[in-house]
Amino acid sequence: MSALPTHEEGLALHERLLTDDPTATSDFIVAFLAPLAAFLHHQLPHLDPHLCQEAAEDALLALVKKPTSYNPLRKKLNGYLVMSARGDLNNRLRREKKHQQNRQSFHLVEVDAESGKSLQSEETPILQMIHHEEQRGQREFLERCRRQLSPEEQVCLDLLLQGKGQRAELVAALGWMHLSAAEQELQVKRIKDRVKKRLKRAGGPPL
């Protein structure tokens, strides 16, 4: 597990954020992202490492956007970032539990590859009709949303609906391989946030 920057190194990077140094954001994320995500996963090994990665990203991006939110007189930077990431992780887990059933019903119904029948074919005709109407409504909702998205956002939405949408998958699909790792993190975070906010405003459940 790579080590987090020392307190002095972190303060120096934070000071550059405060002075609007043009390379401070990239250097800050590169220095902290991997070790912070690894530290979270080491503390919480039962969790999906991707959740730890995303919580680390959110904590770092929050500080990058508002560097004055950290007061070095109150807490060491590493501890502040870990606390922020843990808080985000807890919020994610609560939202995941609350919306699990909604998110499951939001995805299109799976079809058995051999029979071509719905996996819900054992249900009564009335329940099948209800599910059919729900699924049709979901498809229409998605089509309305897609028309309001840019081509890149549509690619992101399609990957999220397939249960994908990790950084490597989005970077490859959107042709961002030429960007630095830090810039990829920022771009992926931004496009996923835009798509999720658009769906939320349209009245859909979280992805």
Query: Tens of pLDDT along the chain (207 residues)?
Result: 678 999 999 999 999 999 988 889 999 999 999 999 999 988 888 888 888 888 898 899 989 999 999 999 999 999 999 999 998 888 877 776 665 555 554 454 444 444 444 444 444 554 454 455 556 666 777 777 778 888 888 888 888 877 777 888 888 888 888 888 888 889 889 988 888 888 777 765 555
Alpha helical stretches, state H, 24-72: 24-43, 49-65
pTM: predicted TM-score of the whole model, two decimal places:
0.50
3-state SS assignment for residue 41: helix
**Distances from the Cα of 140 to the Cα of 45, 102, 108, 163, angstroms:** 40, 17, 11, 20
**Distances from the Cα of 45 to the Cα of 41, 92, 127, 165, 200, angstroms:** 5, 16, 40, 22, 31
- Per-domain residue ranges of the chain: 7-98, 100-202
Q: Which CATH class, in words, describes the domain spanning 7-98?
A: mainly alpha
